[in-house]
A = this chain, B = another copy of it.
């Protein structure tokens, strides 16, 4: 039994899709969600910057006495996770492992190998080839079609998914993938679960969409049980939302997309983060 909260961080609000999944599976755990909304997006930052920001945020979360940290951002996971694991003695969970495990477990579940796997994410995530490398290491044998879709996040943030702008953008990025006919599609940006239905519609139900959030939550669950770190079991857990700026935008997204309780949002000044390193 361990009542300490679980830390979850992202460059912005995309990681709320992960928090949402975690809260539904662990209704009695406490969470601290940290969105680096002032410096979002990480997609166009250098590797050095992403490593530095992730380290600052993790340091701050450690100071809040979290029992584990979920890096709920694919870009930070593929670029910063190795150095975070080196720097801190805490347990970290990342989106790349969760994505790869989703693919491998899916193959086991359906009892056959995936022949053509699509992967979509931000430019930094796709350029890193983190998923491809980890999939090959795990023994994945199928063909892989990675595509960077950098306008998907602005499209979500502008809320124009129901317009022909979205149709044009998805067609621009994914028409080739549709023509090739991938059989499974791995969502490798934590914003993208918001687009699940739109993606399904575009692909007319194929490919099967794989959302790593479920597998990530499974991994967290296994860890908490194995290490005897499960928290409260008598009452609802608390969520603490901390961001670095743009409070109005964040509040809008939080209420527009997530069925989470309405709670206060704290602003963390960058100085407080910088003093951690």
* A interface residue numbers (CB < 8 A to B): 38-39, 44-46, 49, 150-151, 154-155, 157-158, 160, 163-165, 167-169, 171-172, 245-249, 270-271, 274
Chain B contacts of A44 at CB under 8 A?
A: 157, 246, 249
**A157-B270 Cα distance, complex, nearest whole Å:** 26
Q: Is the CB of B151 within 8 A of A247?
A: no
Chain B contacts of A168 at CB under 8 A?
A: 164-165, 167-169
Q: Is the CB of A45 within 8 A of B245?
A: yes
Chain B contacts of A247 at CB under 8 A?
A: 46
Q: Is the CB of B172 within 8 A of A151?
A: no
Q: Is the CB of A163 within 8 A of B172?
A: yes
Q: Closest residue to A44 on the B side, CB-wise? A: B249
User: Which single member of B150, B172, B248 contacts A164 (CB below 8 Å)?
Assistant: B172
This protein's copies in its complex: 2
A interface: dominant SS: helix
A165-B157 CB under 8 A given contacts A246-B44, A246-B46:
no
| Chain B min CB distance to A149 (Å) | 10
Q: Closest residue to A148 on the B side, CB-wise? A: B158
Besides the known contacts A150-B154, A151-B155, A164-B171, 4 further A-B residue pairs in the complex with CB atoms under 8 A apart: A150-B158, A151-B151, A163-B172, A168-B168
**A172-B169 Cα distance, complex, nearest whole Å:** 12
**A171-B160 Cα distance, complex, nearest whole Å:** 13
Q: Is the CB of A49 within 8 A of B245?
A: yes
| Chain B min CB distance to A54 (Å) | 14
Chain B contacts of A171 at CB under 8 A?
A: 164
Chain B contacts of A274 at CB under 8 A?
A: 270-271
Chain B contacts of A160 at CB under 8 A?
A: 151, 172
**A167-B271 Cα distance, complex, nearest whole Å:** 42
A246-B49 CB under 8 A given contacts A151-B165, A270-B270, A271-B274:
yes
| Chain B min CB distance to A166 (Å) | 9
Q: Is the CB of A165 within 8 A of B154?
A: no
**A270-B249 Cα distance, complex, nearest whole Å:** 22
Q: Closest residue to A42 on the B side, CB-wise? A: B246
| Chain B min CB distance to A160 (Å) | 7
| Chain B min CB distance to A84 (Å) | 19
**A38-B157 Cα distance, complex, nearest whole Å:** 18
* 24 pairs, A vs B, C-beta closer than 8 Å: A38-B39, A39-B39, A39-B245, A44-B157, A44-B249, A45-B245, A45-B249, A150-B154, A150-B158, A151-B151, A151-B155, A151-B158, A151-B160, A151-B165, A154-B154, A160-B172, A164-B171, A164-B172, A165-B169, A165-B172, A168-B169, A270-B270, A270-B274, A271-B274
